[in-house]
């Protein structure tokens, strides 16, 4: 199934007045560090603290009245969970979220705070999709995937429309856009929007080392899976394989994907906090990490970097700021 610019523009209409149009900001210090003109898109300021609200609201707002009565079930380590929970609350329907037992407590509490029911599972021994499907069968509710859904992808793509239009409002055309990659929904939607509005703009992705299945898939030309023993602090990006819907899009639209280590991500989070005055969670910081490490070179370029979320566990954040990670 192909996601078009028109699909994303329709999603933008549904999200108007619901999602925050996050700003496109510029830091002289970051420009000097990277040697280019670099803008930041802080989805840390989005409702529920991450871009996920965009796709969740676009999906849930299109349910029929009967489907809304039966509610939804989703699976997520936290950001999609919060996005779905908040969208469900706004639309007046019940939501159950399947979350891993090691999900950051800040994300668990926020999901509960929006009124969602939670079912925990072990991400290393249990299948979250199977659990969600079983719940859907028992309750007759709608499964809302975190990335492999055309309405989710289109909703996330509204970020790409905003990004290009905001850059043009400042009189610039973007050479490159950098985005985190997990299941690929954000970058699939964003790249579709960016390429539709600005075909010459390159879109690059960044993933955690060990969970760089999209990078390896681009190299091999087929979907690759992660090593089951891989671990990372980037809890929002720990997907096992590129999505059925997202992979065909990303294999066509992306210029490349790089992998960054946990230590590099921690350093980038400290930089974001101390220099940019922004709180960014590990998974939300991987694209900035790719730029700061030079793995994606922005020297002489006009670029935009997506900071996809800011829902970091306070204890983890404290250890990172103290240099313990």
Whether residues 93 and 164 fall in one domain:
no
Among residues 120, 144, 168, the one where a domain terminates is 144
Task: Please report the pLDDT score of residue 220 as a whole number.
Answer: 97
pLDDT band, residue 77 (cuts 50/70/90): confident
Q: What is the CA radius of gyration of the chain?
A: 18
What percent of the chain is predicted at pLDDT more than 90? 92
Distance of CA 43 to the CA centre of its chain: 9
3-state secondary structure of 117: strand
Task: Please report the pLDDT score of residue 227 as a whole number.
Answer: 87
Tens-place pLDDT, residues 232-256: 999 999 999 999 999 999 999 999 9
Tens-place pLDDT, residues 200-234: 999 999 999 999 999 999 999 999 999 888 999 99
Among residues 125, 144, 163, the one where a domain terminates is 144
Evaluate if residue 1 carries a pLDDT over 80. no
- Number of domains within the chain: 2
Instruction: Identify whether the C-beta of residue 142 lies closer than 8 Å to the C-beta of residue 73.
Output: yes
CA distance 4 to 249: 10
Lowest mean pLDDT of 18-22, 51-55, 74-78, 231-235, name the range: 74-78
Whether residues 90 and 35 fall in one domain:
no
Domain residues for 107? 53-144
Whether residues 129 and 240 fall in one domain:
no
Helix ranges, the chain (H)? 5-15, 28-34, 52-60, 65-70, 79-91, 105-113, 128-139, 150-169, 185-197, 213-220, 246-253, 262-274, 286-292, 314-321
Token pair listed for 237: 């990006």
Whether residues 169 and 138 fall in one domain:
no
Task: Please report the pLDDT score of residue 103 as a whole number.
Answer: 87
Whether residues 101 and 66 fall in one domain:
yes
Whether residues 260 and 118 fall in one domain:
no
Residues annotated as part of the active site: 52, 308
Lowest mean pLDDT of 18-27, 126-135, 166-175, 250-259, name the range: 126-135
Which CATH number is 154's domain given? 3.40.50.1100
Among residues 110, 125, 144, the one where a domain terminates is 144
φ, ψ at 53 (rounded to 5°): -60, -35
CA distance 45 to 25: 12
Q: Residues 68-82: what's their mean pLDDT?
A: 94
Whether residues 191 and 271 fall in one domain:
yes
Whether residues 167 and 35 fall in one domain:
yes
Tens-place pLDDT, residues 104-119: 888 899 999 999 999 9
Token pair listed for 174: 């973007």
Whether residues 23 and 169 fall in one domain:
yes
Strand order, beta sheet including 25-26: 25-26, 37-42, 302-307, 176-180, 202-208, 256-260
Q: What is the pTM of this model?
A: 0.96
Whether residues 200 and 236 fall in one domain:
yes
Tens-place pLDDT, residues 137-179: 999 999 999 999 999 999 999 999 999 999 999 999 999 999 9
Average pLDDT taken over every residue of the chain: 96
Whether residues 27 and 78 fall in one domain:
no
Task: Please report the pLDDT score of residue 20 as a whole number.
Answer: 98
- Mapping DSSP onto H, E and C, the string for 168-200 reads HHCCCCCCEEEEECCCCHHHHHHHHHHHHHCCC
Tens-place pLDDT, residues 274-313: 999 999 999 999 999 999 999 999 999 999 999 999 999 9
Instruction: Identify whether the C-beta of residue 290 lies closer than 8 Å to the C-beta of residue 206.
Output: yes
Whether residues 85 and 113 fall in one domain:
yes
Q: Is 132 left (phi over 0), alpha (psi -120 to 50) or beta?
A: alpha
């Amino acid at each position: 199934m192909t996601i078009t610019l028109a699909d994303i523009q329709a999603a933008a209409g549904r999200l108007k007045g619901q999602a925050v149009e996050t700003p496109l900001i510029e830091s002289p210090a970051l420009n000097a560090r990277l040697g280019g003109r670099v803008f930041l898109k802080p989805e840390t300021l989005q409702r529920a603290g991450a871009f996920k609200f965009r796709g969740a609201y676009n999906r849930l707002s299109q349910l029929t009245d009967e489907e809304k009565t039966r509610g939804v079930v989703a699976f997520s380590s936290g950001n999609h969970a919060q996005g779905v929970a908040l969208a469900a609350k706004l639309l007046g329907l019940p939501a159950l979220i399947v979350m891993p037992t090691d999900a950051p407590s800040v994300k668990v509490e926020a999901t509960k705070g929006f009124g969602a029911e939670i079912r925990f599972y072990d991400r290393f021994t249990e299948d979250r999709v199977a659990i969600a499907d079983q719940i859907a069968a028992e309750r007759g509710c709608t499964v809302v995937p975190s990335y492999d859904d055309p309405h989710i992808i289109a909703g996330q793509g509204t970020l790409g429309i905003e990004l290009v239009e905001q850059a043009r409002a400042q009189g610039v055309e973007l050479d490159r856009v950098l985005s985190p990659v997990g299941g690929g929904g954000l970058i699939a939607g964003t790249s579709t929007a960016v390429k539709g509005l600005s075909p010459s703009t390159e879109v690059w992705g960044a993933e955690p080392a060990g969970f760089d299945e999209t990078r390896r898939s681009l190299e091999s030309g087929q979907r690759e899976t992660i090593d089951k023993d891989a671990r990372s602090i980037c809890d929002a990006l720990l997907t096992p394989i590129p999505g059925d819907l997202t992979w065909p899009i990303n294999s066509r639209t992306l210029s490349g994907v790089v992998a960054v280590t946990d230590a590099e991500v921690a350093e980038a989070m400290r930089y974001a906090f101390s220099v940019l005055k922004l709180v960014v969670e590990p998974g939300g910081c991987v694209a900035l990490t790719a730029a700061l490490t030079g793995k994606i070179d922005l020297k002489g370029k006009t670029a935009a970097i997506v900071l996809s979320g800011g829902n970091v566990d306070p204890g983890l954040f404290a250890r990172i700021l103290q240099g313990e990670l």
